[in-house]
Chains A and B, each alone.
Chain A
Amino acid sequence: MRIILFAPLMVFFAIAILLWSALEREPGKLPSALIGKPFPEFSLTKLSAHNQYLSAEDLSGALALINVWATWCYACKLEHPYLQKLASNGIKIIGINYKDNRKAAIAWLERLGNPYSVIIFDEEGSLGLDIGVSGAPETFLIDKQGIILHRRVGILDQKVWEKEFSHYYSDSWE
């Protein structure tokens, strides 16, 4: 008879394991295979001008954030004010306008302000595919040599900044 009393425990563990596996799938936890590797090669136009091409070389030279955004992405709108704040504090932010409409994106920036020093227009999402973007927003950190240091999936806000990014900047100032 006593063995029956163990049944609830077993059922509970089955549920707990299930919940655990669900957490493991959380997109915010995605590690990137690209960390420690140079930013992949590409040749895409600037958002502001459809005849000026950019490549990976244009990104290196200073510690910079690379922010993947799009006008169709609601969360990007929420993230935007904080990027503005970072930019006004002298942090270099490069934008990747991901699977978007050029006109809409320019209008978006005119309305909300532009925190980006330069924006890569990735209409087809080919660069996004190379760096393994799973959605927007996403933010990468690259160093002077263009090596990817960190990746953040989801919104970048004050808390994430302090926890995951700010120490890279304080190191470089020392």
Chain B
Amino acid sequence: MNVFLSPEMGHIALIIGSCLAFVQALLPLAGSYTGTVRWMQMGRSLACGNLFFVFLAFLCLSNAFLSDDFTVRYVAQNSNTLLPIYFKFSAVWSAHEGSLLLWVLILSMWTAAVALFGSRLPLQFLSRTLAILGLISVGFGFFLLFTSNPFERTFPLPPIDGQDLNPLLQDIALILHPPLLYFGYVGLAVPFAFAISALLESRFDSAWANWSRPWTIASWCFLTIGIFLGSWWAYYELGWGGWWFWDPVENASLMPWLVTTALIHSLIASEQRGVFRSWTILLAIFAFSLSLLGTFLVRSGVLTSVHAFASDPERGIYILLFLSIVVGSTLALFAIRGPVLMSTSSYSGTSRETFLLINNLILTVAVAVVLLGTLYPLISDAFGLGKISVGPPYFNFFFVPLTFVLLIFIPLAMRSSWGNVSTKAVSSWLMQPLLLSLLLGLIGSTTLAYWVGEKGNSLLAIVTMTCVSWVFVMILKDFRDKIKSSSFTLLPVRYYGMVLAHLGVAITVLGAGLYAASGIQRDVKMGIGDYAVLGGYTFYFSDIKRDRRSNFSFTQAEIIVSKEDREIVTLNPEKRHYFSNPQTMTEAAIDPGLLRDLYVSLGEPLDDDHWAIRLHVKPFVRCIWLGGAMISLGGLLAVLDKRYRRRKICSQDRANLSVQSASEI
């Protein structure tokens, strides 16, 4: 199609891009120590050059996919001529090599963004940050070039047609899920690089925290969208109706998210009050380390997962080495240069500092739970204790109570103020909302019980509704008070962001809690003319037919759902058989609704014209993703806040800062 965008061109562009990243890693760093301003200024143009060439490489690979160039092995393995065009494009990042190229491209984008928007940073700090990002880019560029080159040709036997994209991945959410998740994963490199620069300069002042905040929140936003999109995909595409499976691949994305959530909050305290500084730095390091660890776990195949990416131990060794060098040296730097001086401000047990610290503790425990649960099979195997797997009960045992405790503290931290807050002041505004939310919890669960039966009255449902009401009541009360003393327009955008994100958390918990408490599911054997009753709904099996589409044939059932003799919807669950892959796929049929989802999936054919069918009634399950959208939107509003866009720090501030940082050394 286009000779200029040939795979060889892509390969060369990738090599040039990596070389530029190499220079970007060395020159500005050297300049920052010798004081050579020109070298330091080079960093920004090098970052843009790197982006240009990596983007060119990515275009070349996309071109190979879109023009069905099966002489390229990676294309032959992951695409075929029957595939619709948008799946050909998304197939670019459907397997290891291409998704790694996407990883590198996104890192280049973030680096270029830092170079472009970082003009308010001091030159020395900026050039060191860019150098560290360049170093990470070099590591991954070499990984790509030496162990997983996507541009390799298949000589001498190019196939006539490709092997096809894994049918599980032929889905619209999967076009978006990996890039979004990667924007989040890779974006964490920016606060990581900021943390290293801070360690190199022994600069842990509030300006540093202020610079780091928007980048942290931005990557956290992407991570949030990516995770929720992934869970939504798992819900409707894996076919069996769960929304979170505690699979190692999911855990790999959850851990950085939890740490980054903690980091966002501890950055606030560091910026506003100068407290928890070494903790903040450590969290910034951990966030990116865990995203590297996630890459390692997914790509090396040391843990088996339902997502089953093609894995290769050789790649695992490379990532592990890279991880050890990057994280090991950073933590060593932290041990040597980390801030040990005590914070200069004091705070009481009911101040916002305390509540934020409790929030951080809870999130850290949550990360430890996930990390140990994910790695325990490896630990057990390494010590010869046998082959084991850790199931969802372990994770749920910890996560359910931790989430509720977290919900209790969320509005406390929002409502309290910095410094020495007296206990009396806190308890004075506590009682009313507390009683109100208890009342709401009871009313809610009674209503639910009336609607879905006795399950609505379970302890889980009551606790969920009480905690969620508590968050809502407290936040709305706070909002009302703020409006009274100020006005809609005077409140900063970040305040609205904060309110929205925390309400989002409550909504997600509401969805997850009520779904767990009152969702019902049944597997039944059905033939044409049979019906089953579940949760007040009647599912009538009216027909089954077979047909084919572009790259698969399918069997489709027709199930008519009615309630109290009123027809609600006709659902068509499918079983698909892909031509180029010996794999069967279950496509569930869903009738979505804010208050409940009806979910039907078609199981295996049984003897004598009967089918195994799974029926679900899932109350409030949509709230999980609605909350996710609110959380992400809240984060987005916070990033857009004016305070991160001040052009330059005014000279007065700078003088103060240098005094402050000098006193810390």
Indicate whether A and B are direct neighbours in the complex (CB within 8 Å). Answer: yes
B285: chain A residues at CB < 8 Å are 8
Number of inter-chain CB pairs below 8 Å: 72
**Is B331 close to A, CB under 8 A?**
yes
Q: Mark A1-26, 1 if CB is under 8 A from B, else 0.
A: 11001101100110110111111011
Nearest CB in chain B: distance from A163 CB, A: 10
Interface hits, B444-499 → A, CB 8 Å: none
Q: Are A16 and B313 in contact (CB under 8 A)?
A: no
Instruction: Report the bound CA distance from A132 to B446 in whole Å.
Output: 64
Instruction: Report the bound CA distance from A35 to B320 in whole Å.
Output: 29
Q: Mark A145-163, 1 if CB is under 8 A from B, else 0.
A: 0000000000000110000
**Is A28 close to B, CB under 8 A?**
yes
Given A5-B335, A5-B340, decide whether A19 and B289 contact each other with a Cβ distance below 8 A.
Answer: no
Q: Are A23 and B340 in contact (CB under 8 A)?
A: no
Q: Are B328 and A18 in contact (CB under 8 A)?
A: no
Instruction: Report the bound CA distance from A19 to B294 in whole Å.
Output: 12
Q: Are A12 and B378 in contact (CB under 8 A)?
A: no
B582: chain A residues at CB < 8 Å are 74, 77
Interface hits, A110-150 → B, CB 8 Å: none
Q: Mark A86-105, 1 if CB is under 8 A from B, else 0.
A: 00010000000000000000
Q: Are B300 and A12 in contact (CB under 8 A)?
A: no
Partner of B381, one of A6, A9, A25: A25
Q: Are B302 and A5 in contact (CB under 8 A)?
A: no
A6: chain B residues at CB < 8 Å are 335
Nearest CB in chain B to that of A4: its residue: B340
Interface hits, A59-101 → B, CB 8 Å: 74, 77, 85, 89
Q: Are A159 and B317 in contact (CB under 8 A)?
A: no
Nearest CB in chain B to that of A6: its residue: B335
Interface hits, B562-587 → A, CB 8 Å: 582
Instruction: Report the bound CA distance from A156 to B133 in whole Å.
Output: 37
Q: Are A8 and B154 in contact (CB under 8 A)?
A: no
Q: Are A9 and B328 in contact (CB under 8 A)?
A: yes
**Is A29 close to B, CB under 8 A?**
yes
Q: Are B301 and A18 in contact (CB under 8 A)?
A: no
Nearest CB in chain A to that of B583: its residue: A74
Q: Are A22 and B302 in contact (CB under 8 A)?
A: yes
A23: chain B residues at CB < 8 Å are 300, 302, 313, 316-317, 320
Q: Mark B378-393, 1 if CB is under 8 A from A, else 0.
A: 1101100000000000
- Interface size counted on chain B using CB atoms at 8 A: 36
Which of A1, A19, A77 has the largest number of chain B CB atoms within 10 A? A19
- Interface size counted on chain A using CB atoms at 8 A: 26
Q: Are B73 and A9 in contact (CB under 8 A)?
A: no
Nearest CB in chain A to that of B76: its residue: A158
In terms of DSSP, what is the predominant structure of the interface of chain A? helix
Q: Are B313 and A29 in contact (CB under 8 A)?
A: yes
Q: Are B332 and A9 in contact (CB under 8 A)?
A: yes
Q: Are A158 and B378 in contact (CB under 8 A)?
A: no
Nearest CB in chain A: distance from B305 CB, A: 14
Instruction: Report the bound CA distance from A52 to B157 in whole Å.
Output: 36
Nearest CB in chain A: distance from B347 CB, A: 20
B312: chain A residues at CB < 8 Å are 28
Q: Are B323 and A16 in contact (CB under 8 A)?
A: yes
B293: chain A residues at CB < 8 Å are 15
Nearest CB in chain B to that of A15: its residue: B375
Instruction: Report the bound CA distance from A19 to B300 in whole Å.
Output: 10
Nearest CB in chain A to that of B158: its residue: A158
Nearest CB in chain A to that of B286: its residue: A8
Q: Are A21 and B382 in contact (CB under 8 A)?
A: yes
A159: chain B residues at CB < 8 Å are 73, 152
**Is B338 close to A, CB under 8 A?**
yes
Which of A2, A23, A89 has the largest number of chain B CB atoms within 10 A? A23
Q: Are B282 and A18 in contact (CB under 8 A)?
A: no
B379: chain A residues at CB < 8 Å are 18
Partner of B320, one of A2, A13, A19, A28: A19
B317: chain A residues at CB < 8 Å are 23
Q: Are A8 and B331 in contact (CB under 8 A)?
A: yes
A158: chain B residues at CB < 8 Å are 73, 154, 157
B302: chain A residues at CB < 8 Å are 19, 22-23, 26
Nearest CB in chain A: distance from B455 CB, A: 39
B296: chain A residues at CB < 8 Å are 19
Nearest CB in chain A to that of B332: its residue: A9
Partner of A2, one of B154, B316, B323, B340: B340
Instruction: Report the bound CA distance from A58 to B375 in whole Å.
Output: 48
Q: Are A9 and B382 in contact (CB under 8 A)?
A: no
Q: What are 24 A-to-B residue pairs whose CB atoms are below 8 Å?
A: A1-B340, A5-B278, A5-B336, A5-B340, A8-B282, A8-B335, A9-B331, A9-B332, A9-B334, A12-B328, A13-B328, A15-B375, A16-B323, A18-B375, A19-B320, A21-B378, A22-B378, A23-B313, A23-B320, A26-B301, A26-B302, A28-B313, A158-B157, A159-B73
